[in-house]
Chains A and B, each alone.
Chain A
Amino acid sequence: MERLTFRHATKAPLVGRKPLAITGVVASGNLEVLLERTLPPDACTVEIETPVHGYGDVWEAVVADFVARAQPGGLRITINDGGARPDTVSLRLLQGARLMEG
């Protein structure tokens, strides 16, 4: 298992009030994303546990693009990865953010 943590400053808190959401499943090629509204509104962290080693720079790019797009201020995001492709990670993160907005 490889553990990765990314911290980002955000311009605004994510809209909505939902305190917690979970999306996806831990399965081969998939991932589980837990989102909690527990951080200050100008911060977002993403913690990842992945069985696939050596893709830190790809994760970094995927997370940075997600933060720029969704501005998920206030979220602590935890990922249990099952070897998902970057596009699946990206999709699950956006799905998670949408759930939190609801």
Chain B
Amino acid sequence: MSHWRREQAERDARIAAGRTHASGKVVPAGRAVDLLEAILRPGDRVCLEGDNQKQADCLARALSLCDPAKVHDLHMVQSGIVLPEHLDIFEQGIAKRLDYSYSGPQGGRIARMLFGGQIELGAVHTYLELFARYFVDLTPQVALIAGVSADREGNLYTGPNTEDTPTVVEATAFKNGVVVAQVNEILDRVPRVDIPGDRIDFVVEADRPFYVEPLFTRDPAAMTETQILMAMMAIKGIYAEYGIRRLNHGIGFGTAAIELLLPTYAEKLGLKGQIATHWALNPHPTLIPAIESGWVRQVHCFGSEVGMDRYIRERPDVFFTGADGSLRSNRAFCQTAGLYACDLFIGSTLQIDLMGHSSTVTQSRVAGFGGAPNMGSDPHGRRHPSDTWMKAGREAQTVGDPALMRGRKLVVQIVETFGDKLVPAFVERLDALELARKIGLELAPVMVYADDVTHIVTEEGIANLLLCRTLDEREQAIRGVAGYTEVGRGRDRAMVESLRARGIVRRPEDLGIEPLDADRSLLAAKSIKDLVHWSGGLYDPPARFRNW
């Protein structure tokens, strides 16, 4: 007799062991360690939900308190390495191998541990790529997830920060895995069912609400004239020229400045309704003035943002909301939307080389990728045209039959030539290559490859890489907007001027922009308090952003 139900039998045994610590599906926070020791087996693939924003922190603490004699050598497969416990478990021997996407706040420590050999690294993925592998070769045996509330049957309300949860649960629950959810409270009836109860095996009532990072809040008070100038150039030189309606923004100040210039500068240019109408974007507080001014038709979100819940509830024409009225986000779907249904990605980076490869890895930090390489790539599987996409395709096409031309997604890097502490953003060679050599990575952690980048915007101008016909032109176009960095000062001035004559390099004056007009008075909101006013008091910023 063949064994076709080995995984199911194993799952049943794990659940039976776990039930001894539960009442039905419900486990008190104080028994979480016992529960995990009962259901985990050495070498398990485990997804400990660490998303871009929300964290299953109660379960992370419990996992790090497990006895390494019982729970060891786990293979962690999770998108975010965010909490200290996510790395503590590798020092304790509880976990051994890691496949992940993003490690922003733990970037320094993860680099040291990789270098010290304490972590066996599989790969650093994009979100969508890791999610894809959950269904092929990285399917979790156990998922430890986070929700806002649950009932005793396990029906789960994730709240506005749904993020990765449906994807993680789908892969685990339907492939004989065990799903444990931590929730802030257990209710008789949840506000809406985001995950049906038959996919949840245990519910842990957490000792405190799960942690969420306000990752997308940019204070307009900190915006500089340089960022405003870059935003003006992007709007006039890219958004208007290509008629970009469907787009995704990164999290930097440059793109936040663009959001704040829509109802002012872009309105004066007569662009309302012509650009920036449909978004794959988290609910950025800096988008409030554009929404309130009628610029934005709709926004689909990867996750939510702290303080935006009440505002979103009152704007269901713009956001995706559930029957309970609150936001429904979904990282996997929104990443797919950004990849296939957006014509532009614009974001910042830490280093760009002479060909246009970019990376956020520096010698001492491995920040991971998150969604940028996915958003910031030209999807070869796209088959629907748009004016924007076709125009970019025509600019890039040099040879071949025009009838077989495909479009191009616009992938724009918006960077100040010097970053914090006068660190240049333009370099001859990415630090990522040295790091890859040092820790023995087969694939260097490049965020956006040069062949995907179409434009670079700096305070000095815009380089249109689609129009470059040789590698030499490309290098000089990049040097030509690299300002006073060594890369910028190393330019061939005559060649940059000839690129300028062909519209490949464009200065503010070529776009009819006077740099001295780049003034903070152009910002639709000059402070967090202004954003609260724009929202009619519905936006409730986190305490650290309240300075009035």
Report A's interface with B, CB cutoff 8 A.
Answer: 52, 55, 57-58, 61-62, 83, 85-88, 91, 94-95, 98
| Closest chain B residue to A59, Cβ basis | B484
14 contacts between A and B (CB under 8 A): A61-B489, A85-B416, A85-B417, A85-B418, A86-B417, A87-B416, A87-B417, A87-B418, A88-B224, A88-B225, A88-B226, A91-B225, A91-B229, A95-B516
Contact between A87 and B459, CB atoms less than 8 A apart: yes
| Closest chain A residue to B421, Cβ basis | A83
Contact between B483 and A87, CB atoms less than 8 A apart: yes
A60: shortest Cβ distance to chain B, in Å? Answer: 10
Contact between A98 and B516, CB atoms less than 8 A apart: yes
**Consensus secondary structure, chain A interface:** helix
From B225, B226, B484, contact of A58 by CB (8 A): B484
Beyond A87-B417, A87-B459, A88-B226, whether A94 also contacts B516 by CB under 8 A is yes
Which residues of chain B have C-beta atoms less than 8 A from A58's C-beta?
484, 489
Which residues of chain B have C-beta atoms less than 8 A from A98's C-beta?
516
A94 CA / B484 CA spacing, docked (Å)? 16
Which residues of chain A have C-beta atoms less than 8 A from B460's C-beta?
87
A90 CA / B224 CA spacing, docked (Å)? 14
B515 lies within 8 A of chain A by Cβ: yes
Q: Mark B508-539, 1 if CB is under 8 A from A, else 0.
A: 00000001101000000000000000000000
Which residues of chain A have C-beta atoms less than 8 A from B417's C-beta?
85-87
| Closest chain B residue to A97, Cβ basis | B516
Which residues of chain B have C-beta atoms less than 8 A from A55's C-beta?
422
Contact between A86 and B489, CB atoms less than 8 A apart: no
For the complex of A and B, the 9 pairs showing the least CB-CB separation, nearest first, are A86-B484, A85-B418, A87-B459, A58-B484, A87-B226, A61-B484, A98-B516, A91-B225, A94-B516
Which residues of chain B have C-beta atoms less than 8 A from A91's C-beta?
225-226, 229, 515-516, 518
20 A-B pairs besides A57-B489, A94-B516 with CB distance below 8 A are: A52-B422, A55-B422, A58-B489, A61-B489, A83-B422, A85-B416, A85-B417, A85-B418, A85-B422, A86-B417, A86-B483, A86-B484, A87-B416, A87-B418, A87-B484, A88-B225, A91-B226, A91-B229, A91-B516, A91-B518
A86 CA / B489 CA spacing, docked (Å)? 12
A57 CA / B417 CA spacing, docked (Å)? 16
Which residues of chain B have C-beta atoms less than 8 A from A52's C-beta?
422
A93: shortest Cβ distance to chain B, in Å? Answer: 11
Beyond A52-B422, A95-B516, whether A62 also contacts B226 by CB under 8 A is no
B residues 80-94 in Cβ contact with A at 8 Å: none
| Closest chain B residue to A95, Cβ basis | B516
A71 CA / B175 CA spacing, docked (Å)? 73
| Closest chain B residue to A52, Cβ basis | B422
A91 CA / B418 CA spacing, docked (Å)? 14
A3: shortest Cβ distance to chain B, in Å? Answer: 18
